[in-house]
Structure 1
């Protein structure tokens, strides 16, 4: 039943799609130029994960695993932890040390995936 889960992170990924299509997104593409796959699990990393691809080569965000070879880095999170990192409430290095974020692939590519990639939460 993968992919049928609604995650709180879905809203952030929708904002990411818009963010990547702006001038700020074009700058990220020029600066980073890497492809990331983000796996988000409702409760436990590795179970019922939903995948998203943040492609900073093409400048797009889409749901589903990366299919053009291998992404530069793959991140795995629980839904709640992803929200905390994306909104700047949790430091990515601390998340990694605590096991709240798992990384596969190039560590140097992973280090370029910083909170600046995420759109700033709109104040409502």
Structure 2
């Protein structure tokens, strides 16, 4: 199943995270799961100026399987809601997550401390690409 979502630049990065996780040797993947121990649900909003705001949802499971899926999680440990451009900035390291949170560009529901580990997940996945 494709993780692509038309109109969302974030879907390219989501696919890179998926590829990065799949490329990890089993021992490294198990280590990453143990270190992170959480399920992230990313609600990414695309603010297309011509249309209403659309939302795409992806789940990064680093608690059980080390997988990335499209669609809502049965039980996410943390739900992060942010805009497409904010997500791209986080992935590129151009946006500070704490600053984005403080300015309302990024909203967190659930385990806030786990949300801080998303940055490490993005970096780890990028390092494998």
Could you give the per-residue CA deviations for residues 10-48 of structure 1, whole angstroms, max 9, x where no partner exists?
Answer: 00000010112214544321201110100001018xx42
Q: Is the 8 A contact 1:42 1:79 kept in 2?
A: yes
> Once the 2 structures are TM-superposed, how far is the Cα of residue 4 of structure 1 from its aligned partner?
6.0
Count how many residue pairs are aligned between Structure 1 and Structure 2. Answer: 116
Q: Is the 8 A contact 2:21 2:66 kept in 1?
A: yes
Instruction: State the 4+ residue runs in structure 1 displaced beyond 6 angstroms.
Output: none
TM-score (norm 2): 0.80
Q: Is the 8 A contact 1:35 1:55 kept in 2?
A: yes
Question: Among 27, 34, 40, which residue is 2:38 paired with?
Answer: 34
Aligned to 2:16: 15
RMSD: 2.2
Aligned to 2:66: 59
Higher relative contact order (CA 8 A, sep 6+): 2
